[in-house]
Amino acid sequence: MRVGAHVSIAGGVDNAVGNELDVGGNCGQIFTHSPQVWQDPNIGDDEAEEFRSMTSESLDGPWVIHTSYLVNLCTPKDGLREKSLDSMQKEVDAAAKLDIPYVNVHLGAHTGAGVQGGLENAVSVLDEIDIPDGVTILIESDAGSGTKLGGDFEHLGYVLEESEQDLDICLDTAHAFAAGYDLSTPEGVAETFEQLDEEVGLEHLKCVHLNDSKHECGTNKDEHAHIGEGLIGEDGMRAFINHDAIVENDVPLVLETPTENGKSFEWNIERVRELRNGAN
């Protein structure tokens, strides 16, 4: 099973490999810079080479780059659109430099453009990106608060269908739960995968952000909890982790769980392995 966590690149991107190994992961996710600001990735040739070498030697992979939180593909504002496009281009170029196959991005918020207008804006930005060979952009499912898009699987399906790019998706379990897809029971998990297959196609599911939720299903509130200890709960998490769509396709599970109550990534990764093996 490929399972890991979002880890820090402090001190150099090559440090992410050791950080991942420290928490027991064999795949993972990084930011190339602070996600709270507009900033270009600053990755030297030597650290990139070390990152690639250490990854090849020590991890199963894959790595995923998560884009800046400021990126908004759905925006009707020209200035923000151009900044988002520029940021996305630099992220996919960084991914190519690091031999990272995936760049993960939220669609963003339409801020008054309407759902259809926002989705069309997102497609137009994505179609302008010069994506290097070996890199795929993943559109992440969203919790759906305010005018944010991506909470409905239909939004993801539309973008993948309409874009000229070969895109795939990342499903965030806490986001999907917050958006109204009930993952708390085996029946709910099965129904959610059926809906995802119908609206998007399970062949496009290339990564999962595996997080439990501190809030009820359908609240659109995005706050992550430890695996099995939130409102998705142990039964839901076990059913999700062991679902054929995950197991048979060896979909990588990347955790963004909190560090609190004496539990961090290491505890959560071990819990995922226990639930895959059927332990209580």
Overall pTM > 0.95: yes
193 near 243, Cβ under 8 Å?
yes
Does residue 280 have a pLDDT over 90? no
Architecture of domain 3-276: Alpha-Beta Barrel (3.20)
Average pLDDT of 100-124? 98
Distance CA 108, CA 150 (A): 8
Handedness of CA 6, 8, 9, 15 (dihedral sign): negative
Kindly give the interhelix angle for 153-162 and 115-128, rounded to the nearest 10 degrees.
40
Q: Give residues with Cβ within 8 angstroms of 279, minimum separation 6.
A: none
Give the domain ranges of the chain. Answer: 3-276
Specify the DSSP class assigned to residue 107: -
Q: How many residues does the chain have?
A: 280
pLDDT, tens digit (0-9, with 9 covering 90-100), for 217-227: 999 999 999 99
Q: Is the pLDDT of residue 279 over 60?
A: no
Largest CA distance in the chain: 52
What's the pLDDT band for 278 if we cut at 50, 70, 90?
confident
Instruction: Note the pLDDT tens digit of each residue in 62-107.
Output: 999 999 999 999 999 999 999 999 999 999 999 999 999 999 999 9
Cβ atoms 102, 135 nearer than 8 A: yes
The answer to whether 280 and 228 have CB atoms below 8 angstroms apart is no
155-210 tens-digit pLDDT: 999 999 999 999 999 999 999 999 999 999 999 999 999 999 999 999 999 999 99
Burial of residue 68 (CB within 10 Å: 0-12, 13-18, 19+) is buried
